[in-house]
């Protein structure tokens, strides 16, 4: 962690305008100047990723797709177990982040890790059905997030696992077993994140619960670098594809 690298990231997150006509162009405009410094800052901002990976646990022989996988930082959470997986796809629309993921895989000689520049709402693996699909802080950046969930379920085997960790806000009137956020939380975070085209939603979690058989859900709050007084809500979710 260095102050210069943080300042660069904060400039990209808070000040530099995001340009581009398509979603892919806007992502590249946002990420191209911060790809190399991305991991260090996001380690502090994007909480709960390692916990989700631990909860999903060892999956020997599995094919695992990390949707919106960016720099492939999540690959580190597998530890030595990564070698037991049959295949790992890191799918992302931002070429500059995927370049970091590709060199990470090459450096570690993970020859079964493939980076794919593609849209998470449409891409399907050529070999057919897969065992696990994860989204870590990517659903909030995918405009058609419902299509991304549908696409993930379409590629999963019956009983296959979907894991999500992301920012969110609650509905005004959530289901009884879910946390309820007050008005200020529900209003502030969507406005705060919208500057970076990140859209914490009250609807992702209900849709996941509707489409999948819920295995595990944890609703939490995380510190935000340089904002000591606030905590942003995030959730971790594991569901199975209904047969
Ligand atoms: C906040 S980053 C998270 C990256 C990574 N999952 C992590 O935890 O570090 C969100 C990622 O979603 C990707 N993304 C956004 N929309 C996408 C789409 N439609 N298809 C594929 N990737 C997408 C972005 O390019 C970016 O890499």
Q: What is the CATH number of the domain that holds 127?
A: 3.40.50.150
- Number of domains forming the structure of the chain: 1
End-to-end CA distance of the chain: 45
For ligand 1, the distance from its centroid to the CA atom of residue 105, given in whole angstroms, is: 18
Structure tokens at 108: 């570690």
Tell how far CA 132 is from the center of its chain.
14
Answer whether 68's CB lies under 8 Å from 141's CB. Answer: yes
CB under 6 Å to ligand 1: residues?
A: 27, 42, 46, 49, 68-70, 73-74, 91-94, 97, 119-121, 136-138, 141-142
> What three-state secondary structure class fits 2?
coil
Query: Which pTM does this prediction carry?
Result: 0.92
Distance from the alpha carbon of residue 29 to the mean position of ligand 1, in angstroms: 13
Tell me the chain's radius of gyration from C-alpha atoms: 17
Q: What is the extent of the structural domain holding 178?
A: 3-241
Q: Is 173 helix (H, G, I), strand (E, B) or coil?
A: coil
Nearest CA to ligand 1 atom 4: 70
* pLDDT tens series, the chain, 243 aa: 567 666 666 666 666 677 888 999 998 888 787 767 767 777 778 999 999 999 999 999 999 999 999 999 999 999 999 999 999 999 999 999 999 999 999 999 999 999 999 999 999 999 889 999 999 999 999 999 999 999 999 999 999 999 999 999 999 999 999 999 999 999 999 999 998 899 999 999 999 999 999 999 999 999 987 788 889 999 999 999 998
**Which pLDDT belongs to residue 226?**
76
């Amino acid at each position: 962690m260095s102050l210069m690298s943080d300042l660069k990231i904060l400039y990209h997150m808070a000040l530099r305008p995001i340009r581009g006509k398509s979603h892919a162009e806007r992502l590249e405009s946002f990420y191209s100047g911060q790809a190399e410094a991305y991991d260090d800052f996001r380690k502090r901002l994007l909480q709960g990723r390692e916990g989700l990976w631990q909860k999903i646990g060892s999956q020997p022989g599995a094919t695992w797709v990390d949707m919106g996988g960016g720099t492939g930082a999540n690959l580190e959470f597998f530890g030595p177990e990564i070698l037991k997986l049959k295949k790992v796809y890191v799918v992302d629309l931002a070429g500059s982040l995927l370049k970091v993921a590709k060199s990470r895989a090459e450096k570690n000689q993970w020859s079964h890790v493939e980076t794919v520049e593609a849209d998470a709402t449409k891409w399907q693996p050529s070999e057919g059905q897969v065992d696990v699909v994860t989204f870590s802080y990517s659903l909030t950046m995918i405009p058609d997030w419902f299509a991304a969930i549908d696409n993930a379920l379409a590629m999963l085997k019956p009983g296959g696992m979907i894991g999500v960790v992301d920012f969110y806000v609650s509905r005004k009137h959530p289901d009884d077993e879910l946390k309820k956020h007050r008005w200020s939380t529900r209003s502030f975070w969507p406005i705060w994140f919208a500057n970076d085209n990140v859209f914490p939603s009250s609807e992702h979690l209900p849709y996941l619960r509707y489409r999948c058989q819920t295995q595990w859900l944890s609703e939490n709050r995380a510190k935000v670098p340089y904002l000591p007084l606030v905590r942003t809500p995030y959730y971790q979710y594991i569901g199975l594809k209904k047969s």
